[in-house]
């Protein structure tokens, strides 16, 4: 499970860019609502366009397929190396695992900020596992870049598997926490669940009630 990308807000946006981002969000939210109501197989691109009041041509300017409207809810202005840059810029005292989670900070905050939307999205993804496969394909380049960044933090060559191991452990924690967050109906902040998961992993993943590995 990867994190949702968030558009940069470093500079004021022009009218055209605001409209573009607004259309992206409109299509994403319409797609989510329709799929949550009907199921993935009973929603078409045409249904989403009719609900949003746009043409299929407009839809395909933003998404390659209907699944992507569910998985890319925010306008993607960051390139595939954005997460890698944040990993490398994370405070030096952080462990590799904590550096990855630190790099996801803003994106993780969106889960709690847009709680109802994300409760619906995670429920839809749980019901349709094929979406997880598609998400992995969409995130493949970003994951490779992030894994290499983890390796560079600890002085390893780009082809060493350590960076990928750390990244995939972090992503497994993210997915487990997101699923637990759904079961809790968002009652506990997602960021807090992730903090607990990272602490458990950092302690050696001890079984509950047993001492951590030293």
Domain CATH for 73: 1.10.10.60
Least confident of 30-39, 77-86, 195-204: 77-86
In a domain, 2, yes or no: no
- Based on the domain organization, do 32 and 107 belong to the same domain? no
CB 202 within 8 A of CB 95: yes
Residues 115 and 128 in one domain: yes
In a domain, 212, yes or no: no
Quote the number of domains for the chain.
Answer: 2
Domain membership of residue 214 (yes or no) is no
In the structure encoding, which two tokens stand for residue 26, read together?
A: 């409109």
**Residue 91 sits in a domain of what CATH number?**
1.10.357.10
95 and 187 both lie in a single domain: yes
- Does residue 126 share a domain with residue 42? no
On the question of pLDDT at 1 being above 50, the answer is no
List, in order, residues 6 or more apart from 180 with CB less than 8 Å away.
Answer: 193
Residue 11 scores a pLDDT above 70: no
* Residues 56 and 17 placed together within one structural domain of the fold: yes
Q: Give residue 62's domain range.
A: 12-77
Same-domain status, 69 and 100 = no
d(CA 48, CA 65): 11
Label each residue of the chain as H, E or C: CCCCCCCCCCCCCCHHHHHHHHHHHHHHHHHHHHHHHHCHHHCCHHHHHHHHCCCHHHHHHHCCCHHHHHHCCCCCCCCCCHHHHHHHHCCCCCCHHHHHHHHCHHHHHHHHHCHHHHHHHHHHHHHCCHHHHHHHHHCHHHHHHHHHHHHHHCCCCCCCCHHHHHHHHHHHHHHHHHHHHHHCCCCCCHHHHHHHHHHHHHCCCCCCCCCCCC
Whether residues 58 and 113 share a domain: the answer is: no
**First-last CA distance in the chain:** 29
- Which residues, at least 6 apart from 6, have a Cβ–Cβ distance to it below 8 Å? 74, 78, 106, 107, 110
Domain membership flag for residue 169: yes
Q: Against a cut of 0.85, is the pTM above it?
A: yes
Confidence of residue 178 (pLDDT cuts 50, 70, 90): very high
Quick check: is 186 in a domain? yes
In a domain, 1, yes or no: no
Q: pLDDT tier at 76 (50, 70, 90 boundaries)?
A: low
pLDDT averaged over every residue in the chain? 91
One domain, residues 67 and 135: no
Same-domain status, 62 and 30: yes
Residue 11, both tokens: 């500079």
């Amino acid at each position: 499970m990867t994190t949702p990308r968030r558009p940069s807000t470093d500079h004021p946006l022009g009218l055209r860019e605001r409209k573009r981002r607004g259309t992206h969000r409109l299509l994403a939210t319409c797609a989510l609502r329709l799929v949550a109501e009907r199921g993935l197989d009973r929603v078409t691109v045409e249904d989403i366009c009719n609900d949003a009041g746009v043409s299929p041509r407009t839809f395909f300017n933003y998404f390659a397929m209907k699944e992507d409207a569910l998985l890319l809810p925010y306008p993607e202005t960051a390139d595939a190396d954005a997460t890698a840059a944040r990993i490398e810029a994370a405070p030096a005292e952080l462990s590799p695992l904590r550096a990855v989670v630190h790099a996801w900070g803003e994106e993780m905050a969106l889960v709690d900020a847009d709680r109802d939307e994300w409760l619906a999205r995670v429920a839809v993804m749980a019901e349709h596992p094929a979406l997880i496969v598609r998400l992995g394909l969409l995130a493949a380049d970003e994951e490779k870049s992030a894994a290499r960044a983890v390796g560079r933090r600890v002085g390893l060559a780009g082809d060493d598997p350590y960076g990928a191991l750390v990244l995939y452990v972090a992503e497994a924690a993210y997915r487990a926490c997101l699923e637990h967050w759904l079961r809790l109906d968002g009652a506990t902040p997602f960021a807090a669940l992730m903090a607990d998961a990272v602490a458990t992993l950092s302690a050696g993943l001890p079984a509950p009630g047993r001492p951590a590995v030293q």
